[in-house]
Amino acid sequence: MNTTWRTEQLRRLNQTMKAIEILAEHPDLTLIYQGKAWVYRDLLELSVRIFRLAQQEGYDVQAFELWFAKDAELFAHYGLEWRVG
């Protein structure tokens, strides 16, 4: 994967994340965005994808790491395993 591709992916993922961020406050909702039904687990999965791409691009991801570590139990509840590092 080249840097341009990862940067474009980050941009698109961030756009999607902003569009569905209401799920962070209302995890029981299902949203329709760009013809897809989005649920809270999707928001968490997008967060992980953004983190990994941002980390590869050399961005400061410390805030993500703190959030993920704090909410590891929540991630597990939605079937997502997360390990910082």
Question: Domain for residue 82, yes or no?
Answer: no
Question: Domain for residue 67, yes or no?
Answer: yes
Residue 82 φ then ψ, to 5°: -135, 130
| 39 burial level (CB within 10 Å; 0-12, 13-18, 19+) | middle
Q: What is the pTM of this model?
A: 0.72
DSSP letter string, 25-78: H-TT--EEETTEEE-HHHHHHHHHHHHHHHHHTT---HHHHHHHHHTHHHHHHT
The per-residue pLDDT for range 56-80, each reduced to its tens digit, is: 888 898 988 887 777 777 777 877 7
Domains held by the chain: number: 1
Residue span of the structural domain in which 60 resides: 3-77
* Range in 1-5, 24-28, 38-42, 44-48 the model is least confident about: 1-5
